[in-house]
Structures are given as structure tokens and as C-alpha cells.
Amino acid sequence: VEGFNFSTELSVRFAETDAQGVAHNANYLIWFEVARIEYLARYAGGYKSIQESGFEALTTESHVRYLAPIHFDDRLTIHTRCHDVRGARFRYEYVVERAGRIVADGWTQHAVVDRETMRPTRVPGFFAEAVASAERPGAG
């Protein structure tokens, strides 16, 4: 998908389906998180390195568009990018692709807080730099 340098793959688990025979809508947020965490692992030393630096990243908003039903065992590619890093905030965007077709998309908004005080704090420099480098056109 154009504009995305990173993607991760996963297969839909049987436990993620519901009695409509499709993946339940809440699981998309879990897949977004899986993708986000792999992104952090690839570019920014991992979620644990953020925590160990004394920060915590909170999810403050989420949005999903369910464009086509997703079924058990479907192989999904989650295209992921981070952008709009400013102050204490950053945003991830996701496009979910199955066999070349976009079946969902969405975004999550995040805030960095100090682990001790849980107060908003500027996105740490190492993270902002890692994102800038990862999101350069052509990187990935």
C-alpha cells in the first residue's frame, strides 16, 4: 500500500470469530496493537525500551472502518505507519489487506506519559527520531 513502509502479517484465530461467522469488531484493535508493537520493535527498540526509558504510551482514541467481512484463517497484512509526532502525542494509521484487497483501515491516537507521575510528557527524542527515519519515503 502506497505511503506505508512497514507491514506485518497475521492469520485470523478461530477464537477471534463470532457467531456471525466473521472476525469480531473488537479484535481489529488488537491486530492494530500487534502491528504497532512490531513497528516499535523494528524501529524504536521495542515497547519495553520505551517503558524502560521511564515512559508509558497510552491509547487515547481509536477508529476502525470495517470494509469487508474477515473470516477465520484469513491471512492479513497490516500496513502500519506512525506520523504526526508532536508534543506528547503521536498517531498510528493502519490499512488491513487480504489477498491484495483492502478490507479495513483505521488509526489510533496515543499520548506519552511519565511512568511515575502518569502526566503527559514530550515524546522522547529517540522515539521521534526513530519514527522520522522509519517514515522517510522509501525507507522500510
Instruction: Compute the chain's Rg from CA coordinates.
Output: 16
Q: Is 34 in the site for its own copies (CB under 8 A)?
A: yes
Q: Is 46 in the site for its own copies (CB under 8 A)?
A: yes
DSSP 23: B
Taking the least distance from each CB to its own copies, the nearer of 2 and 73 is: 73
| Grid cell of 93 as nine digits | 494509521
96/74 Cα distance (integer angstroms): 11
Provide the 3-class DSSP secondary structure of residue 49: helix
7/80 Cα distance (integer angstroms): 6
Min. distance of Cβ 1 from its own copies in angstroms? Answer: 19
Q: Is 24 in the site for its own copies (CB under 8 A)?
A: yes
User: Looking at 68-76, 84-92, 120-128, 129-137, which segment touches its own copies (CB under 8 A)?
Assistant: 68-76
Q: Is 66 in the site for its own copies (CB under 8 A)?
A: yes
SS3 of the chain: helix, strand, coil, percent, to 5: 25, 40, 35
Taking the least distance from each CB to its own copies, the nearer of 51 and 133 is: 51
User: Looking at 46-54, 74-82, 95-103, 126-134, which segment touches its own copies (CB under 8 A)?
Assistant: 46-54
DSSP 133: H
Binding footprint of its own copies on the chain (CB under 8 A): 13-15, 17-22, 24-27, 29-30, 33-34, 37, 46-48, 56, 58-66, 69, 71-73, 108, 118
